[in-house]
Amino acid sequence: MIRVLVVDDQALVRAGFRMILEAEDDLVVVGEAADGIEAVELVERAAPDVVLMDIRMPRLDGVEATQRIMSARSHARVLVLTTFDLDEYVYAALQAGASGFLLKDTPPERLVDAIRIVAAGDAELAPSITRRLLGQFVASRPSAVAPPPWLAQLTERELEVLTLMARGRTNAEIADELYLGETTVKTHVGRVLMKLGARDRVQAVVMAYEAGVVVPGA
């Protein structure tokens, strides 16, 4: 059973999510929070697997709440929900440790699938939107003066895999493009995450853009 915490400052939105999620046999809502402070407290008490996190909330927004949850080394994974697909706060939330994001108008079945994906430790959520979001905001930031230390630790193949991950490719697509088995690709992805110290795929993509491994728009 996947334990979900719903965080949104609107009671009707929380109720709607609860109805959608609890209609599934493998999902259970273990709590609701109206702001980031409540969310952080409930993560500690209710031990959710996935936190559906709104961004713009009173008292404590979703970005800061995500940072606090990650700093507490909770096993919970954060899935950001936003009204705008190019919200600068979403990029900040990904940097803070969120495992992905969805728009609030996402179809119910897509939301449910995304929760299952995140709970399983993956983060292949809306790759085209994620790529566009990262490209928009990283492009506005100055390039790093020196390459990060982890870049030198990657083998040529691992760098190829990271580049394709950052371009929104799934493991199956990477396997086809590099003429590798999908199991081999999963092994490479695992090694990339380990060398980068990344929590998951999304965090690795954020780091790839910031390090200049992938140029936005290229």
Per-chain mean pLDDT for the chain: 84
| % the chain with pLDDT above 90 | 44
Confidence at residue 161, expressed as pLDDT on a 0 to 100 scale: 94
Give pLDDT tens digits for 67-110.
Answer: 999 888 788 999 988 776 555 677 777 778 888 888 888 889 88
Return the minimum-mean-pLDDT range out of 5-14, 91-100, 185-194. Answer: 91-100
The strand pairing partners of 207, in sequence order, are none
Structure token digits, residue 67: 């940072």
d(CA 54, CA 93): 10
Torsion of CA 94, 85, 52, 23, to 10 degrees: -140
State whether residue 29 is helix, strand or coil: strand
Measured CA to CA, the distance from residue 190 to residue 187 in angstroms comes to 5
* pLDDT tens, residue by residue, 22-34: 999 999 999 999 9
Three-state secondary structure call for residue 20:
helix
Residue 106's SS3 state is coil
Q: Is the pLDDT of residue 8 over 90?
A: yes
How far apart, in whole angstroms, are the C-alpha atoms of residue 185 and residue 181?
Answer: 6
The number of angstroms, rounded, from the C-alpha of 98 to the middle of its chain's C-alpha atoms is 4
CA-wise closest residue to 2 among 82, 113, 100, 126: 113
Which has more confidence, 133 or 153?
Answer: 153
Share of the chain above pLDDT 70, in %: 84
Tokens of 203: 């965090």
What pLDDT, on a 0 to 100 scale, did the predictor assign at position 97? 83
Could you give the angle at the alpha carbon of 197 between the alpha carbons of 132 and 54, nearest 5°?
Answer: 50
Instruction: Report which DSSP code applies to 111.
Output: H
Q: pLDDT tens digits, residue range 139-160?
A: 666 555 677 889 889 999 999 9
